[in-house]
Structure 1
Amino acid sequence: MERAKELANRLQEVLLDGRWVANTNCKAQLENLNWEEATQKVGNLNTIAALTFHINYYLGGLISVLQGGPLEIRDKYSFDLPPITSQADWEKLVNEFLENSETFVQEVAQLPDSMLDQPFVDEKYGPYHRNINGTIEHCYYHLGQISMLKKMIAKTDV
Protein backbone atom coordinates (compact mmCIF):
# COMPACT_ATOMS: atom_id res chain seq x y z
CA MET A 1 0.00 0.00 0.00
CA GLU A 2 2.97 2.33 -0.06
CA ARG A 3 2.41 3.45 -3.65
CA ALA A 4 -1.31 3.91 -3.04
CA LYS A 5 -0.63 6.00 0.06
CA GLU A 6 1.82 8.13 -1.89
CA LEU A 7 -0.82 8.76 -4.57
CA ALA A 8 -3.39 9.53 -1.86
CA ASN A 9 -0.99 12.04 -0.29
CA ARG A 10 -0.57 13.80 -3.62
CA LEU A 11 -4.35 13.93 -4.05
CA GLN A 12 -4.69 15.30 -0.52
CA GLU A 13 -2.17 18.02 -1.42
CA VAL A 14 -3.87 19.24 -4.58
CA LEU A 15 -7.44 18.87 -3.39
CA LEU A 16 -7.52 19.65 0.30
CA ASP A 17 -4.50 20.96 2.15
CA GLY A 18 -1.22 20.95 0.30
CA ARG A 19 0.98 23.88 -0.59
CA TRP A 20 4.09 22.16 -1.93
CA VAL A 21 3.63 22.22 -5.72
CA ALA A 22 1.35 25.23 -6.32
CA ASN A 23 1.55 26.95 -2.92
CA THR A 24 -2.22 26.41 -2.71
CA ASN A 25 -4.89 23.76 -3.17
CA CYS A 26 -8.44 23.52 -4.47
CA LYS A 27 -10.08 23.86 -1.06
CA ALA A 28 -8.09 27.01 -0.25
CA GLN A 29 -9.06 28.55 -3.58
CA LEU A 30 -12.77 27.79 -3.17
CA GLU A 31 -13.10 28.90 0.43
CA ASN A 32 -14.42 32.41 1.00
CA LEU A 33 -15.72 32.75 -2.56
CA ASN A 34 -19.28 33.90 -2.95
CA TRP A 35 -21.60 32.59 -5.60
CA GLU A 36 -21.35 35.72 -7.73
CA GLU A 37 -17.56 35.39 -7.90
CA ALA A 38 -17.82 31.66 -8.58
CA THR A 39 -20.19 32.22 -11.49
CA GLN A 40 -18.62 35.38 -12.91
CA LYS A 41 -17.66 35.01 -16.56
CA VAL A 42 -14.25 36.20 -17.70
CA GLY A 43 -14.27 36.37 -21.48
CA ASN A 44 -15.00 32.96 -22.93
CA LEU A 45 -13.31 31.06 -20.06
CA ASN A 46 -15.09 28.58 -17.84
CA THR A 47 -16.30 29.95 -14.52
CA ILE A 48 -14.86 28.81 -11.21
CA ALA A 49 -18.19 27.10 -10.52
CA ALA A 50 -18.01 25.23 -13.84
CA LEU A 51 -14.44 24.09 -13.13
CA THR A 52 -15.42 22.99 -9.61
CA PHE A 53 -18.34 21.00 -11.01
CA HIS A 54 -16.07 19.50 -13.69
CA ILE A 55 -13.47 18.23 -11.23
CA ASN A 56 -16.17 17.00 -8.87
CA TYR A 57 -17.94 15.17 -11.70
CA TYR A 58 -14.83 13.10 -12.36
CA LEU A 59 -14.13 12.51 -8.68
CA GLY A 60 -17.66 11.17 -8.21
CA GLY A 61 -17.33 8.83 -11.17
CA LEU A 62 -13.97 7.52 -10.02
CA ILE A 63 -15.24 6.99 -6.48
CA SER A 64 -18.02 4.84 -7.91
CA VAL A 65 -15.46 2.62 -9.65
CA LEU A 66 -13.22 2.38 -6.58
CA GLN A 67 -16.25 1.29 -4.56
CA GLY A 68 -17.03 -1.48 -7.03
CA GLY A 69 -19.49 0.30 -9.29
CA PRO A 70 -19.39 0.84 -13.05
CA LEU A 71 -17.69 3.70 -14.87
CA GLU A 72 -20.66 5.84 -15.83
CA ILE A 73 -19.13 9.27 -16.35
CA ARG A 74 -18.82 10.70 -19.85
CA ASP A 75 -16.72 13.65 -20.96
CA LYS A 76 -19.68 15.24 -22.75
CA TYR A 77 -21.49 15.71 -19.41
CA SER A 78 -18.53 16.95 -17.39
CA PHE A 79 -19.44 20.63 -17.71
CA ASP A 80 -23.22 20.25 -17.30
CA LEU A 81 -23.31 22.49 -14.26
CA PRO A 82 -26.81 23.05 -12.89
CA PRO A 83 -27.61 26.75 -12.46
CA ILE A 84 -26.01 28.42 -9.45
CA THR A 85 -28.37 31.21 -8.42
CA SER A 86 -27.62 31.61 -4.72
CA GLN A 87 -24.96 31.25 -2.08
CA ALA A 88 -26.70 28.06 -0.94
CA ASP A 89 -26.32 26.55 -4.43
CA TRP A 90 -22.62 27.40 -4.45
CA GLU A 91 -22.03 26.08 -0.94
CA LYS A 92 -23.81 22.83 -1.84
CA LEU A 93 -21.44 22.34 -4.79
CA VAL A 94 -18.35 23.18 -2.73
CA ASN A 95 -19.42 20.87 0.11
CA GLU A 96 -20.03 18.02 -2.33
CA PHE A 97 -16.66 18.68 -3.92
CA LEU A 98 -14.91 18.60 -0.53
CA GLU A 99 -16.74 15.43 0.53
CA ASN A 100 -15.86 13.71 -2.74
CA SER A 101 -12.26 14.89 -2.44
CA GLU A 102 -11.95 13.37 1.04
CA THR A 103 -13.66 10.15 -0.06
CA PHE A 104 -11.48 9.81 -3.14
CA VAL A 105 -8.30 10.31 -1.11
CA GLN A 106 -9.45 7.65 1.37
CA GLU A 107 -10.41 5.18 -1.36
CA VAL A 108 -7.05 5.57 -3.11
CA ALA A 109 -5.15 5.20 0.19
CA GLN A 110 -6.89 1.85 0.79
CA LEU A 111 -6.03 0.34 -2.58
CA PRO A 112 -3.61 -2.57 -2.44
CA ASP A 113 -0.50 -1.72 -4.43
CA SER A 114 -1.09 -4.77 -6.62
CA MET A 115 -4.32 -3.14 -7.83
CA LEU A 116 -2.42 -0.13 -9.16
CA ASP A 117 -0.99 -2.21 -12.01
CA GLN A 118 -4.37 -3.73 -12.94
CA PRO A 119 -6.45 -2.35 -15.82
CA PHE A 120 -8.80 0.44 -14.80
CA VAL A 121 -12.27 -0.81 -15.78
CA ASP A 122 -11.12 -1.68 -19.31
CA GLU A 123 -7.61 -2.23 -20.69
CA LYS A 124 -8.07 0.72 -23.07
CA TYR A 125 -7.90 3.07 -20.04
CA GLY A 126 -4.59 1.70 -18.81
CA PRO A 127 -3.79 0.75 -15.22
CA TYR A 128 -5.19 2.30 -12.05
CA HIS A 129 -1.95 4.15 -11.26
CA ARG A 130 -2.04 5.90 -14.63
CA ASN A 131 -5.62 7.02 -14.10
CA ILE A 132 -4.96 8.24 -10.56
CA ASN A 133 -1.85 10.13 -11.69
CA GLY A 134 -3.92 11.59 -14.51
CA THR A 135 -6.49 12.75 -11.98
CA ILE A 136 -3.76 14.49 -9.96
CA GLU A 137 -2.50 16.25 -13.11
CA HIS A 138 -6.06 17.13 -14.13
CA CYS A 139 -6.71 18.68 -10.70
CA TYR A 140 -3.51 20.75 -10.82
CA TYR A 141 -4.39 21.95 -14.33
CA HIS A 142 -7.78 23.22 -13.21
CA LEU A 143 -6.40 24.52 -9.90
CA GLY A 144 -4.18 26.81 -11.97
CA GLN A 145 -7.18 28.01 -13.95
CA ILE A 146 -9.20 28.64 -10.78
CA SER A 147 -6.29 30.57 -9.23
CA MET A 148 -5.95 32.77 -12.31
CA LEU A 149 -9.69 33.37 -12.54
CA LYS A 150 -9.78 34.47 -8.90
CA LYS A 151 -7.05 37.01 -9.60
CA MET A 152 -8.80 38.25 -12.72
CA ILE A 153 -12.11 38.59 -10.90
CA ALA A 154 -10.49 40.40 -7.98
CA LYS A 155 -8.93 42.86 -10.42
CA THR A 156 -12.29 43.66 -12.01
CA ASP A 157 -13.93 44.21 -8.61
CA VAL A 158 -11.58 47.10 -7.76
Structure 2
Amino acid sequence: MSSTSQLAKRFREVVLDGLWIANTNFKDQLKDVTWKQAMTKVGSLNTIAMLTFHIDYYIAGLVNVFEGGGLEIKDQYSFDLPPIESEEQWEELLHKLWNDAEKFANLLEQMPDSKMDEVFVDEKYGTYLRNIDGMIEHAYYHLGQITLIKKLLTN
Protein backbone atom coordinates (compact mmCIF):
# COMPACT_ATOMS: atom_id res chain seq x y z
CA MET A 1 0.00 0.00 0.00
CA SER A 2 1.38 3.42 -0.94
CA SER A 3 2.20 6.03 1.69
CA THR A 4 -0.57 8.31 0.48
CA SER A 5 -3.10 5.46 0.67
CA GLN A 6 -1.99 4.71 4.22
CA LEU A 7 -2.33 8.37 5.18
CA ALA A 8 -5.79 8.54 3.62
CA LYS A 9 -6.79 5.45 5.61
CA ARG A 10 -5.52 7.04 8.84
CA PHE A 11 -7.40 10.24 8.05
CA ARG A 12 -10.64 8.36 7.36
CA GLU A 13 -10.20 6.46 10.63
CA VAL A 14 -10.30 9.62 12.75
CA VAL A 15 -13.05 11.43 10.86
CA LEU A 16 -15.29 8.92 9.11
CA ASP A 17 -15.08 5.30 10.12
CA GLY A 18 -12.18 4.14 12.25
CA LEU A 19 -11.91 2.60 15.68
CA TRP A 20 -8.22 1.78 15.89
CA ILE A 21 -6.59 4.64 17.85
CA ALA A 22 -9.45 6.20 19.83
CA ASN A 23 -12.04 3.42 19.49
CA THR A 24 -14.28 6.08 17.94
CA ASN A 25 -14.31 8.79 15.24
CA PHE A 26 -16.03 12.09 14.47
CA LYS A 27 -18.92 10.50 12.60
CA ASP A 28 -19.60 8.06 15.43
CA GLN A 29 -19.39 10.74 18.13
CA LEU A 30 -21.55 13.27 16.27
CA LYS A 31 -24.27 10.95 14.93
CA ASP A 32 -26.61 11.43 17.88
CA VAL A 33 -25.73 15.00 18.90
CA THR A 34 -28.68 17.37 18.49
CA TRP A 35 -28.18 20.94 17.35
CA LYS A 36 -29.07 22.18 20.83
CA GLN A 37 -26.42 19.93 22.39
CA ALA A 38 -23.94 20.99 19.71
CA MET A 39 -24.51 24.64 20.63
CA THR A 40 -24.49 24.16 24.41
CA LYS A 41 -21.59 25.81 26.19
CA VAL A 42 -19.91 23.85 28.99
CA GLY A 43 -17.95 26.26 31.15
CA SER A 44 -15.23 27.97 29.12
CA LEU A 45 -14.94 25.10 26.62
CA ASN A 46 -15.71 25.47 22.94
CA THR A 47 -19.03 24.02 21.85
CA ILE A 48 -19.23 20.79 19.88
CA ALA A 49 -20.52 22.79 16.91
CA MET A 50 -17.57 25.17 17.13
CA LEU A 51 -15.07 22.30 17.20
CA THR A 52 -16.86 20.62 14.29
CA PHE A 53 -16.69 23.83 12.27
CA HIS A 54 -13.04 24.32 13.27
CA ILE A 55 -11.85 20.92 12.07
CA ASP A 56 -13.82 21.22 8.82
CA TYR A 57 -12.35 24.69 8.25
CA TYR A 58 -8.85 23.20 8.14
CA ILE A 59 -9.86 20.15 6.11
CA ALA A 60 -11.55 22.35 3.50
CA GLY A 61 -8.51 24.64 3.44
CA LEU A 62 -6.18 21.75 2.67
CA VAL A 63 -8.59 20.39 0.06
CA ASN A 64 -8.35 23.73 -1.72
CA VAL A 65 -4.55 23.38 -1.86
CA PHE A 66 -4.81 19.74 -2.99
CA GLU A 67 -7.04 20.92 -5.86
CA GLY A 68 -4.42 23.43 -6.99
CA GLY A 69 -5.68 26.51 -5.15
CA GLY A 70 -3.93 28.66 -2.60
CA LEU A 71 -3.78 28.34 1.15
CA GLU A 72 -6.61 30.74 1.94
CA ILE A 73 -7.38 29.75 5.53
CA LYS A 74 -6.23 31.80 8.51
CA ASP A 75 -6.09 30.65 12.13
CA GLN A 76 -7.91 33.79 13.26
CA TYR A 77 -11.05 32.69 11.35
CA SER A 78 -10.99 29.01 12.27
CA PHE A 79 -13.58 29.38 15.04
CA ASP A 80 -15.89 31.82 13.20
CA LEU A 81 -18.90 29.51 13.27
CA PRO A 82 -21.99 31.11 11.77
CA PRO A 83 -25.02 30.89 14.08
CA ILE A 84 -26.71 27.49 14.14
CA GLU A 85 -30.37 27.90 15.00
CA SER A 86 -31.92 24.66 13.79
CA GLU A 87 -31.35 20.95 13.40
CA GLU A 88 -31.20 21.50 9.65
CA GLN A 89 -28.28 23.94 9.96
CA TRP A 90 -26.44 21.50 12.25
CA GLU A 91 -27.00 18.67 9.76
CA GLU A 92 -25.66 20.92 6.96
CA LEU A 93 -22.45 21.47 8.94
CA LEU A 94 -22.08 17.73 9.52
CA HIS A 95 -22.77 16.98 5.85
CA LYS A 96 -20.11 19.51 4.85
CA LEU A 97 -17.59 17.88 7.19
CA TRP A 98 -18.29 14.36 5.84
CA ASN A 99 -18.06 15.57 2.21
CA ASP A 100 -14.90 17.60 2.77
CA ALA A 101 -13.29 14.71 4.66
CA GLU A 102 -14.05 12.22 1.90
CA LYS A 103 -12.76 14.66 -0.73
CA PHE A 104 -9.57 15.16 1.34
CA ALA A 105 -9.00 11.40 1.56
CA ASN A 106 -9.75 10.80 -2.14
CA LEU A 107 -7.41 13.56 -3.28
CA LEU A 108 -4.71 12.29 -0.94
CA GLU A 109 -5.01 8.77 -2.34
CA GLN A 110 -4.46 10.14 -5.84
CA MET A 111 -1.20 11.88 -4.93
CA PRO A 112 2.08 10.17 -5.76
CA ASP A 113 4.15 9.23 -2.71
CA SER A 114 6.86 11.60 -3.95
CA LYS A 115 4.51 14.55 -3.29
CA MET A 116 4.84 13.97 0.47
CA ASP A 117 8.39 15.35 0.47
CA GLU A 118 7.47 18.48 -1.50
CA VAL A 119 7.08 21.90 0.09
CA PHE A 120 3.49 22.61 1.14
CA VAL A 121 2.65 26.06 -0.32
CA ASP A 122 5.61 27.81 1.37
CA GLU A 123 8.76 26.48 3.03
CA LYS A 124 7.63 27.87 6.39
CA TYR A 125 4.81 25.26 6.41
CA GLY A 126 7.11 22.32 5.78
CA THR A 127 6.20 19.39 3.55
CA TYR A 128 2.92 17.87 2.44
CA LEU A 129 3.61 14.97 4.81
CA ARG A 130 4.06 17.29 7.78
CA ASN A 131 0.76 19.05 7.05
CA ILE A 132 -1.20 15.86 6.45
CA ASP A 133 0.20 14.26 9.62
CA GLY A 134 -0.63 17.50 11.42
CA MET A 135 -4.20 17.38 10.13
CA ILE A 136 -4.64 13.83 11.44
CA GLU A 137 -3.16 14.73 14.84
CA HIS A 138 -5.25 17.91 14.99
CA ALA A 139 -8.39 15.87 14.29
CA TYR A 140 -7.61 13.40 17.08
CA TYR A 141 -7.01 16.28 19.49
CA HIS A 142 -10.43 17.79 18.80
CA LEU A 143 -12.12 14.38 18.68
CA GLY A 144 -11.00 13.92 22.28
CA GLN A 145 -12.46 17.28 23.23
CA ILE A 146 -15.77 16.51 21.54
CA THR A 147 -15.95 13.12 23.26
CA LEU A 148 -15.39 14.71 26.68
CA ILE A 149 -17.84 17.58 26.09
CA LYS A 150 -20.46 15.10 24.92
CA LYS A 151 -20.00 13.08 28.13
CA LEU A 152 -20.30 16.26 30.22
CA LEU A 153 -23.54 17.17 28.43
CA THR A 154 -25.11 13.75 28.93
CA ASN A 155 -24.21 13.39 32.63
Does TM-score exceed 0.5, indicating one fold? yes
Counterpart residue number, 2:129: 129
Aligned-pair distance for 1:144? Answer: 0.2
Q: Give the 4+ runs in structure 1 shifted more than 6 A.
A: none
**CA positional deviation for 1:32:** 1.5
**In 1, Cα distance between the equivalents of 2:31 and 2:102?**
16
What CA deviation, in whole Å up to 9, does each residue of 1:19-54 have, x standing for no partner? 000000001111121100101100010000000000
Q: CA deviation at 1:71?
A: 0.5
In structure 1, the partner of 2:9 is: 9
Deviation at residue 61 of structure 1 after TM alignment:
0.5
- Map of 1:3-152 to 2, 5 A cutoff? 3-152=3-152
TM-score relative to the length of structure 2: 0.99
Tell me how large the CA RMSD over aligned residues is.
0.7
- SS of residue paired to 2:14: helix
TM score, norm. by length of structure 1? 0.97
1: CA distance between counterparts of 2:145 and 2:45? 9
Secondary structure, aligned partner of 1:135: helix
Gaps of 5+ in 1: none
Identity of aligned residues (%): 55
In 1, Cα distance between the equivalents of 2:143 and 2:17?
A: 13
